[in-house]
Structure 1
Amino acid sequence: MELFSDKPGDEGLIGRERRLAMLAVMTTTTMAVFDGSMVNIALPQIARSLQISSSDAVLVSNSYLLSTAMTLAIFAAFVKQVGFRVQFTMGLSVFTLASLGCALSSSLPMLVGMRLLQGVGAAAVLSIAPAIFRSIFPNRLLGRILGVNALLIASVTAIAPVIGGTLISTLSWQWLFIINIPFGLVALLLTQRAIPGKQSSGREAFDIWGGLLSAIMLGALIMTANTFSQAGEVGIDLDTLLTALLYAAVSMVSGILFFQRQKRAPKPLLPLQIFASSRFSLAALTSLASFISQGIIFITLPFLFQNVYGYSAFGSALLFTPWPLGIILAAPQAGKLADRYSAALVSTVGLCIFVVGIALLALLPEQASIWDIGLRSLLCGIGFGCFQSPNNRELLSNVSRENSGYASGILAIMRTFGQCLGGAFVGVILAQYSLSNGTESSFILREAQGVKVSLWVAATATMLAIIISFSRLRAVQKGAKGAQ
């Protein structure tokens, strides 16, 4: 297999060691994707088991996202202190032990606490996973390995709802966490054998104040979005607005202080010079806008399938599979194309396909067939698959290898916040279409209207991503002319 071939002048590890390191990273990625995809399905059962309300059960999902978002930037910088192997081992160990704690939880506070720890462990590994690929693979194969990684995520996303539904119906929700333990042990063994350690000697100063400010900034921003998304049927009242404004103000003030700190700190948490590359910055912004769109659609489609078209939860999961199937078909080929041609161009074409697919979903008729829904979702998956791995390659290849950990953290932050903001938009929109009481048919009509508005907002976010992506094509052309 070419991914493990060796050529003179190759950077990174030799082919045999490359294979084991890739397995360690991908096993951990599988755990994280399974965990995120399956837990949401189990929330109703968790609520019944712990005798809590549905709104309280949502904390099980949100606590994981919150702790992940708050610590991503910290771990992207902390890897400089300890190296890939130590941080990956620490994060994987915390994630695996916290999974056991989740399975043993008998109350909501204990389960939420374990989920917070899981999020910290996930941030430690997810913040550096792309950087590890950059470290162990030569630049000529970077697009392909990122394409294979996107293929893995899509495949796991496709089968996770089915496996989760099977585990919940035959065993219990605890098994969604127990399944992480054997995966974690295997990944730990592979990590010790294959993940590279610290490259430089000696310890560097760590920006503690920068870490605290970044955690407050990111956490408060997540809470701002969650405040709007949890407004519910009462809509956005004065108390909701004031709470959201308070969180936003905390996020803004801590953000200003964070960036001032980064300018003065001798060893900043996030070196601002990495944003000097316009191609890096534009790739990051493109990623943020596209994940806002994906976050909107991933939350909207279950409402469309179940509340509007009347499919069961299991049927809804099956209807969703064409999307990851499209990524499976497109991502590896897009990765190969990105190694041969302009990654920015390939990802821009993918976004154009993606926005067409979203528009077609928004234009679905009242009585849509399974094939009609599936084909439109498939087109979205193909477009996103063509976009994601080339865009990741563009972002990672426009920083030095020494700063790849920071770039990897930026990539994870863009993904997390994009999905979070997308979810917040859906919560606000659907709340506005669920304010009044009425018959079941009027509820379905309002729900359908809210879903369509959400999908058009997703299309707008994707158009913004296309505009940003087109602007970086000019940066690529200027760079090519400068090289001549």
Structure 2
Amino acid sequence: MHQTTTHQDGLTGSRFYLGVLAISLATALGMLDSVIANVALPTITKTLHTSPSDSVWIINAYQLSIIMSLLPLSSLGDRVGYARVYMAGLAIFTCSSLMCAMSRSLDMLIVARVLQGFGAAGISSVNTALVKTIYPSRLLGRGVGISASVVSISTAAGPTITAAILSVGPWPWLFAINVPLGIVTFLVSFMALPRPPILKAAYDYGSALLNAATFGLLVLGVDRMGHSNGISASVMLQLAASATCAWLLVRRERGRTQPLLPIDLLLKPVFLLAVLTSICSFTAQMLAFVSLPFMLQDVLGRSAMETGALITPWPLAIIVVAPFAGTLSNRYEAGALGGVGLAILALGLALLALMPTHPASFDIGWRMAVCGIGFGLFQTPNNRAILAAAPPGRTGNASGMIGTSRTLGQTLGAVLTALILMVAPSHAGPVALTTGAIFAGAAATLSLIRML
């Protein structure tokens, strides 16, 4: 195979196309798994005879292990090479997907999902950094846009694939499909992705542990707050411990040239606002994605097949808008594009929350499309802005913050949905969607502030 590479400006020749294929396959794999779990949650809940609020831990466990390990793994990628971390994560993800398929109880499935989350963290922690190493700098906007399109296509296909599999087989098959996909992706990645010599720089294990404790205690504390119906002494203790670990982490990382937590980058207003915008937007999205299957199936009486079809206009709209947004990001500021897109997302979520009691399929579908248009306009420019703010040699940090902000938002959205399902089960859908609209509005405000 003829192939050439450059350290400065991406891959060339046949290796470029294989590299794009490798990243696209891995992105599709992760997104399919996420969407499949969300859409199938009501079915898994009934099969395992558990409550909706408890079953949300099928999602929470996955997100929790990702958020605890994203930054440590992105920092590791800067030292041993992004491709090595990526392929190790892919191998763990594939093996743990098989464990998910073999699970026969909620506890077993949650344990398998924790391991699967660590594998997914290995992929997503360096995914965006690999995009920057694969594409020439003049095509970076297009590369980020293509990645966003792959996310959207996978998300669009997820509900249909979920419904099709559940119509002919049990829910474990949903996780089993990851195994052949994972093997193929690993082989393509092994052929395409560069593996540079390992750097001799020491790895900061102390910061990695403090990072895991900070995010883990925060998410567990918020979840415990919901299940204890308020703020108890144990909740306050967990949140205080999380805050203490965060303070120690910031103090430890300040002034380091190769930090695990990029304090210097977060002190840049543009970078910080882009990260906060991402957290709020993904919180809004997850509030919708977790609550909508319960609302459509348990409240409106739609089947799993119908639920998948009704959610599909959201990611389909992103497919159309994301490449357009990637092109626009070369001409217009990310703050303006993100502010407009997130305002549209907030409008779409509000319209979903205010649907009539017995909406027609068209009434649901066009509202989903409005949400997708808004999210598609925001995501690509915002991710590119985060990448562009990182100096040379710090791409792993920027990629890690993209993944961390996304996963933290998704985790908070899932935890808030579990709380809403427990506190207001009969009105969970409208309450969760309204809450999502509020978060989307906050994200739009943060994005527009970057224009000042």
* Corresponding residue for residue 33 of structure 1: 31
- Give a deviation string over 1:251-295, Cα, whole Å, max 9, x none: 111111111111266753223212243221111111111112112
- Give a deviation string over 1:229-249, Cα, whole Å, max 9, x none: 445xxxx15xx6333322211
Gaps of 5+ in 2: none
* Corresponding residue for residue 81 of structure 2: 83
| More off after superposition, 297-306 vs 382-391 | 297-306
- Give a deviation string over 1:412-455, Cα, whole Å, max 9, x none: 11111112222333333444434xxxxxxxx5xxx2xx533433
* Corresponding residue for residue 271 of structure 1: 262
* Corresponding residue for residue 322 of structure 2: 331
Aligned-residue offset at 1:342: 2.5
> CA 1:149/1:259 → structure 2, altered by over 3 Å: closer, same or farther?
same
- Listed as ranges, the matches of 1:141-180 within 5 Å are 141-180=139-178
The 8 Å contact of residues 159 and 312 in structure 2, kept in 1 or not, is answered as no
The 8 Å contact of residues 206 and 267 in structure 1, kept in 2 or not, is answered as no
> CA 1:46/1:432 → structure 2, altered by over 3 Å: closer, same or farther?
closer
- Listed as ranges, the matches of 1:358-369 within 5 Å are 358-369=349-360
Distance 2:198 2:33 in 1: 36
* Corresponding residue for residue 375 of structure 1: 366
* Corresponding residue for residue 222 of structure 1: 219
Aligned-residue offset at 1:103: 2.7
* Corresponding residue for residue 409 of structure 1: 400
Task: Tell me which of 215, 226, 240 is aligned to 1:249.
Answer: 240
The 8 Å contact of residues 338 and 448 in structure 2, kept in 1 or not, is answered as no
Matched, 1:466 2:444: yes
The 8 Å contact of residues 155 and 315 in structure 2, kept in 1 or not, is answered as yes
Distance 2:431 2:173 in 1: 37
Q: Equivalent residue of 2:330, what SS?
A: helix
The 8 Å contact of residues 70 and 125 in structure 2, kept in 1 or not, is answered as yes
Aligned-residue offset at 1:106: 4.7
- Matched residue type, 1:402: G
Determine what percentage of the aligned residue pairs are the same residue.
Answer: 38
Aligned-residue offset at 1:176: 1.9
Distance 1:329 1:259 in 2: 40
* Corresponding residue for residue 321 of structure 1: 312
> CA 1:341/1:54 → structure 2, altered by over 3 Å: closer, same or farther?
closer
Tell which structure's C-alpha radius of gyration is larger.
Answer: 1
The 8 Å contact of residues 141 and 339 in structure 1, kept in 2 or not, is answered as no
* Corresponding residue for residue 65 of structure 2: 67
- Listed as ranges, the matches of 1:116-127 within 5 Å are 116-127=114-125
Aligned-residue offset at 1:47: 5.8
> CA 1:336/1:285 → structure 2, altered by over 3 Å: closer, same or farther?
same
* Corresponding residue for residue 332 of structure 2: 341
* Corresponding residue for residue 397 of structure 1: 388
Distance 1:361 1:47 in 2: 24
Distance 1:306 1:122 in 2: 28
Matched, 1:306 2:297: yes
> CA 1:220/1:269 → structure 2, altered by over 3 Å: closer, same or farther?
same
Q: Equivalent residue of 1:127, what SS?
A: helix
Distance 1:58 1:427 in 2: 6
- Matched residue type, 1:331: A
* Corresponding residue for residue 425 of structure 1: 416
> CA 1:195/1:113 → structure 2, altered by over 3 Å: closer, same or farther?
same
> CA 1:196/1:9 → structure 2, altered by over 3 Å: closer, same or farther?
closer
- Matched residue type, 2:213: I
| More off after superposition, 78-87 vs 36-45 | 36-45
- Give a deviation string over 1:207-240, Cα, whole Å, max 9, x none: 1100000001111111123224445xxxx15xx6
- Give a deviation string over 1:169-200, Cα, whole Å, max 9, x none: 323333222211211121111111211223x6
- Matched residue type, 2:141: G
Matched, 1:451 2:442: no
> CA 1:460/1:109 → structure 2, altered by over 3 Å: closer, same or farther?
closer
Distance 1:220 1:211 in 2: 14
Distance 1:452 1:290 in 2: 18
The 8 Å contact of residues 39 and 162 in structure 2, kept in 1 or not, is answered as yes
The 8 Å contact of residues 327 and 381 in structure 1, kept in 2 or not, is answered as yes
> CA 1:453/1:271 → structure 2, altered by over 3 Å: closer, same or farther?
closer
- Give a deviation string over 1:86-139, Cα, whole Å, max 9, x none: 111111111112222333345555443332221111101101101111111122
| More off after superposition, 211-220 vs 143-152 | 143-152
Distance 2:48 2:291 in 1: 27
| RMSD of equivalent CA atoms | 2.6
| More off after superposition, 23-32 vs 109-118 | 109-118
Distance 1:40 1:179 in 2: 16
> CA 1:46/1:387 → structure 2, altered by over 3 Å: closer, same or farther?
closer
* Corresponding residue for residue 204 of structure 1: 201
Task: Tell me which of 181, 184, 190 is aligned to 2:182.
Answer: 184
Distance 2:101 2:421 in 1: 33
Aligned-residue offset at 1:396: 0.8
| More off after superposition, 465-474 vs 44-53 | 44-53
The 8 Å contact of residues 144 and 339 in structure 1, kept in 2 or not, is answered as no
TM-score normalized by the length of structure 2: 0.91
Aligned-residue offset at 1:406: 0.8
Number of matched pairs: 448
Aligned-residue offset at 1:71: 0.5
Distance 2:37 2:363 in 1: 29
> CA 1:279/1:370 → structure 2, altered by over 3 Å: closer, same or farther?
same
- Matched residue type, 1:148: I
Q: Equivalent residue of 1:128, what SS?
A: helix
> CA 1:402/1:345 → structure 2, altered by over 3 Å: closer, same or farther?
same
TM-score normalized by the length of structure 1: 0.85
